[in-house]
Amino acid sequence: MAGTFNGFGQKAIPFLKALDFHQSREWFQENRDLYQSELHEPFCDLVETLSERFEAAKLGLRGDRKKSLFRINRDVRFSKDKRPYNRHLSAILSPDGSKMSQGVFYVHIGLERCFAGVAWWQPAPELLQAMRKAIATKPAAFRAMVTALKKGGLALDSEDRLKRPPRGFEDVSEDDLAQAVRNRHFVVRHEIDAAGIHTTALVDELVDFTLRAKPVLDWGRAIQGKIG
């Protein structure tokens, strides 16, 4: 049964701050009820409320309280940093409701920042190659997507961009295209004011952002559909 999002508890961020200070399984167990009521259950409700709103808006993104959230526990098996808990909680809504598909919505509530993103993140080599080829051979479609994002106040993120053109794209000379083919990901982001996470208005804010970010979803899906 989908829950209705009524805002995160006022102690959501203070809980993360205290958890980060203690980084103790004993402390977490003692305060699990606070975690559930202030952070985890509201986050589950947010995911399911967004899933309903995304369906109504025909965005092709969905999620639920069981599959969408990432665990607050860190995987420390291969890390030198053995702190057991993350400093944030996050979730993905995707075309199939899993965390494994591409062209997704991501939301992150944390100590350093709160933000949302719409992303083709680390696409598989075949899809990434097809995206780069589409940029080089169908620049009008790529530029139309960028222009549509700009009209919505958004822009593709340049994080983790290659320093040099990938093999086969050395001859792409126009600056905007040359930069774009160096992308490893195609992402737009929206910063969330932490003071605004406690009200239902967060849902409208995130739906509005995702609608403005839809051009990058549509662009990637058109390419994906030709190689699937």
Percent of residues in the chain assigned helix, strand, coil, to nearest 5 = 45, 15, 40
Q: For a pLDDT cut of 90, what percent of the chain falls above it?
A: 93
Beta strands 88-93; 104-110: pairing state: antiparallel
Mean pLDDT of 140-153: 98
* Tens digit of each residue's pLDDT (9 = 90 or more) over 67-99: 999 999 998 788 888 889 999 999 999 999 999
Q: What is the pLDDT of residue 75?
A: 85
Mean pLDDT of 101-124: 97
Mean of the per-residue pLDDT values of the chain: 95
Contact 93, 105 (CB under 8 A): yes
- Record the tokens describing residue 40, joined without a space: 């985890």
SS3 108: strand
* Tens digit of each residue's pLDDT (9 = 90 or more) over 150-196: 999 999 999 899 999 999 999 999 999 999 999 999 999 999 999 99
Q: What is the pLDDT of residue 81?
A: 83
Domains of the chain (ranges plus CATH)?
12-227 (3.30.930)
Mean pLDDT of 58-65: 96
pLDDT bucket at 228, cuts 50 / 70 / 90:
low
| Higher local confidence (pLDDT), 43 or 80 | 43
Residues sharing a CB contact under 8 Å with residue 180, sequence separation 6 or more, in sequence order? 132, 135, 142, 156
pTM: 0.95
pLDDT at 1 over 50: no
pLDDT at 30 over 60: yes
Select from 135, 125, 130 the least CA-distant residue to 156.
135
Mean pLDDT of 197-206: 98
Residue type, 13: I
Measured in whole angstroms, the distance separating CA 95 from the mean position of its chain's CA atoms is 13
DSSP string, 122-157: S--HHHHHHHHHHHHH-HHHHHHHHHHHHHTT----
Q: What is the pLDDT of residue 144?
A: 98
pLDDT bucket at 2, cuts 50 / 70 / 90:
low
Identify the helix (H) or strand (E) that includes residue 48. helix 41-56
| Higher local confidence (pLDDT), 180 or 228 | 180
Beta bridge partners of 94: 62
SS3 200: coil
- Cα-trace Rg, the chain: 19
Per DSSP, 228 falls in state -
- Phi, psi values for residue 92, rounded to 5°: -125, 135
